[in-house]
Amino acid sequence: MQKRKLGKSNLEVSAIGLGCMGMSFSYGPPKDKPEMISLIRSAVELGVTFFDTAEVYGPFTNEELVGEALAPVRKQVVIATKFGFDLSGGDKRPGAAGLNSRPAHIREAVEGSLKRLKVEVIDLLYQHRVDPDVPIEEVAGAVKELIQQGKVKHFGMSEAGAQTIRRAHAIQPVTALQSEYSLWWREPEAEVLPTLEELGIGFVPFSPLGKGFLTGAINENTQFSSDDFRNKVPRFSEENRKANGALVAVMEKFAAQKQATPAQIALAWLLAQKPWIVPIPGTTKLNRLQENCGAVSAKLSPEDLRELESAAAKIKVQGARYPDNLQKLVGR
């Protein structure tokens, strides 16, 4: 497995990370814990050193799972988690929990995450979503204090807009931004990627496989379980899945030429964009984990990239990436 550095920081991680959310949350019922522990440890054996979780996943259970799975190899891995949702209410569905990035809440969240992850320090701590009620300078200042206290090593942000990133970075250098980015969601290219390049901040794309769509395993006939988040995503309506299949067809054709899979092409495309981009595809299946890790070997030449971009550019992806209540939390 190749390694990459997140921006100008010295945080070195595997070129492909592992998003752990779906093991506990959002994509149907929680998966079998011993199986998921085994999967996470298989990832380590495959060379993955970068694992992503958050207190809201579960809530709390995903951090406990990741902490237990990685305890034997703690020194070999980088664990990222997130704060920023108010989990004091009863409704813990994605987006139902309000935001809370007040400094006292951040400190409280970090104490909980340290315990659940069974670690003495959090390698990378993201603000999960920008809280409009708390100036970003206060958030960055609170994380700076946690870094000075030795409880956190690196500060990250998620789905933040360019100006907010600049303001935070001026108080406490931001190591990484995590946002959605893939061949079917390219909005970060307009403002965010140039800002990150200028400031020397790494980029961690989540949903690099389009929440599973770019693997080719989902079509208009796919039935999601009742508690699968994709039921609420406009882009995953039956009609839009049918239309968006055109993009997958392009990738399948390309993959066949390269003796790769559509997922590997999607990840290889991301890796080819910048040397400081580290995608974190999530999975609950060993064969998919192995497939995703294999993407580092799928090399795309400049000509391949031009051909892929040109074919993809002719297809207008249908449907919003989030329902309105979640879209409002993005790009602040």
Task: Tell me which residues are annotated as active site.
Answer: 57
CA distances from 321 to 96, 100, 162, 184, 235 (A): 17, 24, 19, 9, 6
**Does residue 59 have a cis peptide bond before it, meaning omega lies within 30 degrees of 0?**
yes
Place of tokens 């993201």: 126
End-to-end, the C-alpha distance of the chain in Å comes to 35
| 184 in Cβ contact with 177 (< 8 Å) | no
Residues 219, 51: Cα–Cα separation, whole Å = 29
Exposed, middle or buried, 189 (CB in 10 Å: 0-12/13-18/19+)? exposed
Other C-beta atoms lying within 10 Å of the C-beta of residue 221: 8
Backbone angles phi, psi at 43, to 5 degrees: -60, -40
Dihedral Cα 70, 75, 77, 80, nearest 10 deg:
80
Dihedral Cα 52, 142, 165, 158, nearest 10 deg:
20
